[in-house]
Each structure stands twice: as C-alpha cells, then as structure tokens.
C-alpha cells in the first residue's frame, strides 16, 4: 500500500473536448474560453488550483485550442498600449493572472478516446508524483475553493482523493458514483466506485464532481485500460483497479458549495448569474434587474 505524502505541485486540466453542445459559439472558440462574467471558464478553474497552492498547470489540449495557450501567456502589444494609456488596474489584473514562465505545459490528446486517455497523455509531464486533476466544465463555487479543501484532506490522509456531492437519485446514471464508509463525514474512505451505473444500481447518490488527487501509479493502469462506458477509456475504471487491485487508499471529500456544469447551457447561464451575484461591483444591480425581469 502506497500512501506517499509528496506535495501536490501539478494540476492536470483536460481541455480537448469539442464543445458540440455550444455550437455555433464553439465553432472557432474553445468552450473553455466562454466567459463566466468577465473571466473564461478555464481561468476560474486555474484560479481554484492556484488558490490551493498548485504551481504547474498541464493542459491536455486538441485541435483549435491554441487560444487557451495564448490566454495564459503575456500579450506584449496589449500590455504596452495599456501602459501608454495609464490603465494601471487593467495591467495589474493581467499580471496577477499570468502564471510565471515555465509554470504551464501543453500537450495534445490527438484522438477523442475519453477522459482516462486524456489524463494518461499527461504522464511524462507529471512524472513520479501525485497530482491534482480538475475537469474544467465543472465550476465549484464556494468560500473555500474545493481543491484547497482536498489538499488539506490529502495532507492528513495521503493516497488518492475524489471530491463528491449528492445528486438526485434519478441522475446517478450520468456520473461516476462512489459508496463511502460514512456519508455524513466530510472525508470518508471510499468502499465502491462505478462509472455511470445503470439506473437503479448506484451504490449511493454521491457523484464524482470533477476534482481529484491521484497517485502516479494511475498512469500504468490507464495505459492498459480497456474501453468502458460509452466506448471510451474511463478514468474511473482505472481508479477502481488502483483501489481494489493495487490496494491504494481512496477517500471521498464532500464538497458543500455549488457546482455549475458549464458543459450544459443551463449550468453555464446559472454560473454567470451566481458568480455575478457574488461580486460587490455587480451583485446588487444584477439582483435588482433580475427581480424586474422574472
Ligand atoms: C466525467 C467522469 C465522471 C464524473 C464527471 C463529472 O464524466 O467520468 O466520473 O462524475 O466527469 O463531470 P463526463 O462528464 O466526462 O461524462
């Protein structure tokens, strides 16, 4: 059993998905660059990882995703123009968000073979250390960022961790679902995991929300992983083998904030409303306008 406690320095962000649910908006623009208020979805997720102390961001990209790389680079002409015009606060905003040189890596998935395959593409960049994984579609909105909570739990328990939250019973077939020792505990050992269980067979209503801390042994398992649900190489299937066969510990960390699935139109719209309402500069006037509207 491995419960190594190496520090979590790197985060993997799979951003290769086509975004077909948002056509035509995503015809030429990656879905991860759609804005929630005034920040791209992917920036919100990087913000969450940075708030948890992550130092290196590994993007698993695909064709037509080049603009994500540009977004996390400096923009010389823009910065010079802002400086010439004395736009100090805008300049500060840009420099605050910019990762240091060498803190980002980009690699292409090449073929849409599933989440497990996307994560496996990061193996050489991650190397032999545990890492964070954040699925960018799922925005986790809370006072304490979800990944910060998970790193705290990792510091205590080590091993592998998965963020979970309850979903209505009629939605369990849409997600990875875990069974835990004690569903009331904030952090509880996982006893069972299954990817998208057929209706009526889920071990609980706790779904995997898209935030993980994984040990590097997952990569060997992913390299041999056969296709699972939906004909795709499923990350959950390799996690099950890491837990059941390699006997590594897995804990569920309950996330108590709000989750917005920005891969769906309604989730994306709600995220915009929620993030704007939470801001001092926009919240009060938006609330007043919404009251008039509905
Ligand atoms: C993936 C994971 C699933 C998880 C979900 C969260 O599924 O495989 O376990 O619950 O993300 O969004 P996907 O949404 O890619 O079908």
Q: Tell whether the model's pLDDT for residue 132 goes beyond 60.
A: yes
Residues facing residue 207 across a β-bridge: 165, 177
pTM for the predicted model, two decimal places: 0.95
Domain range for 222: 3-293
Q: What is the CATH number of the domain that holds 100?
A: 3.90.550.10
Structural domains of the chain, count: 1
Mean of pLDDT values over 176-198 = 96
Q: Which residue has the least CA distance to atom 13 on ligand 1?
A: 175
> Ligand 1 test: best mutation among 45, 135, 167, most atoms within 8 Å of CB?
135
Q: What is the Å distance from ligand 1's center to 65 Cα?
A: 21
- 226 by DSSP, 3-state: which? coil
Q: Tell whether the model's pLDDT for residue 109 goes beyond 80.
A: yes
- For the stretch 144-182, pLDDT in tens is 999 999 999 999 999 999 999 999 999 999 999 999 999
Where in the chain does DSSP place strands (E)? 10-14, 35-36, 39-40, 56-61, 104-108, 131-134, 138-141, 160-166, 176-180, 187-195, 206-214, 250-254, 258-261
Q: Say if CB 139 and CB 229 are below 8 A apart.
A: no
- For the stretch 223-238, pLDDT in tens is 999 999 899 999 999 9
Q: Tell whether the model's pLDDT for residue 13 goes beyond 90.
A: yes
Average pLDDT, the chain: 95
């Amino acid at each position: 059993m491995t419960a190594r406690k190496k520090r979590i320095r790197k985060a993997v962000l799979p951003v290769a998905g086509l975004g077909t649910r948002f056509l035509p908006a995503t015809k030429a623009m990656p879905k991860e660059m759609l804005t929630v208020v005034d920040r791209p979805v992917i920036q919100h997720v990087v913000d969450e990882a940075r708030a948890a102390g992550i130092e290196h961001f590994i993007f698993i990209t695909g064709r037509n995703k080049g603009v994500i790389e540009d977004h996390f680079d400096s923009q010389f002409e823009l910065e010079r123009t802002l400086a010439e015009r004395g736009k100090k606060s805008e300049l500060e905003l840009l420099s605050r968000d910019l990762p240091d040189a060498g803190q980002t890596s980009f690699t292409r998935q090449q073929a849409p073979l599933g989440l497990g395959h996307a994560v496996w593409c990061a193996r050489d960049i991650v190397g032999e250390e545990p890492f964070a994984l954040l699925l960018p579609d799922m925005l986790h909105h809370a006072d304490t960022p979800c990944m910060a909570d998970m790193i705290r739990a990792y510091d205590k328990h080590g091993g592998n961790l998965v963020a979970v939250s309850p979903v209505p019973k009629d939605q369990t077939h849409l997600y990875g679902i875990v069974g835990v020792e004690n569903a009331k505990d904030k952090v509880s050992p996982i006893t069972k995991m299954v990817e998208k269980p057929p209706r009526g067979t889920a071990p609980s209503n706790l779904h995997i929300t898209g935030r993980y801390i994984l040990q590097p042994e997952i990569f060997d398992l992913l390299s041999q992983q056969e296709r699972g649900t939906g004909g795709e190489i499923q990350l959950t299937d390799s996690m099950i083998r890491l837990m059941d066969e390699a006997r590594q510990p897995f804990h569920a960390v309950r996330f108590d904030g709000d989750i917005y699935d920005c891969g769906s139109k309604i989730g994306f719209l709600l995220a915009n409303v929620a993030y704007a309402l939470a801001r001092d500069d926009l919240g009060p006037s938006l609330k007043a306008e919404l009251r008039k509207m509905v």
